[in-house]
A and B are shown apart, each in its own frame.
Chain A
Amino acid sequence: EPEVTQTPSHQVTQMGQEVILRCVPISNHLYFYWYRQILGQKVEFLVSFYNNEISEKSEIFDDQFSVERPDGSNFTLKIRSTKLEDSAMYFCASTRTGEGGGNYGYTFGSGTRLTVV
């Protein structure tokens, strides 16, 4: 079964440092997403990406965040200057279609646990 792959699985960084979280979406998917989940809280939408541009972003996704698809396979989330409150699990996802991914839903990666100290 095709998978969304995320690296690293766990990253510890000092406050103020830049981090890049990496994702390889499923190859024939067209829509890409980042979500985050702070420990004990709900999964929250950060950003969606389609046709090489951001299609939608949430209030959380401020100027500290950026996304990029540098080549045909990788999809990255950069946090420029990390804060303690950025500590969370970050999930990448991809879908073939919009509207929640239709009958197939989203395929999420296994996540990157970001710890900011």
Chain B
Amino acid sequence: RKEVEQDPGPFNVPEGATVAFNCTYSNSASQSFFWYRQDCRKEPKLLMSVYSSGNEDGRFTAQLNRASQYISLLIRDSKLSDSATYLCVVNPGLRGGSNYKLTFGKGTLLTVNP
């Protein structure tokens, strides 16, 4: 099983659509979870951290299910500017064997069309 696995995509949606990204991780002891966004040939940028209780930031909602080792991201009312690659990212933490590194999924490309 890959360390972090995401929907391969790509996703093409019209403006205003709701789109969901799924991710699974293999290290059950992992401590910290994130969604990053990466525009073409640019650096990854933090979109949001993901908590067990779930968290919401405007149109974006992230969920974590530790029992299933599953992370999700929901984008509502998608905008043209949401077009990017969405990266699921896990940090094992001290209990997971590494306090330092981030493990990235390959990413899912989203294109929002007018």
Contacts and interface: CB of A to CB of B under 8 A. Distances in A.
Interface of A: 31, 33, 35, 41-45, 48, 50, 55-56, 58, 89, 91, 98-106, 108-111, 113
Interface of B: 31-32, 34, 36, 38, 41-46, 49, 87, 89, 91, 93-94, 98-107
Given A41-B106, A42-B105, A105-B36, A98 B46 contact: no
B36 A44 contact: no
A110 B37 CA distance: 13
A6 B109 CA distance: 26
A56 B105 CA distance: 20
B49 A103 contact: yes
Nearest to B30: A100
10 contacts: A35-B102, A41-B106, A43-B44, A43-B102, A44-B104, A55-B100, A56-B100, A100-B31, A105-B36, A109-B43
B100 to A, nearest CB: 4
A48 B101 contact: yes
Nearest to B48: A105
A43 B31 contact: no
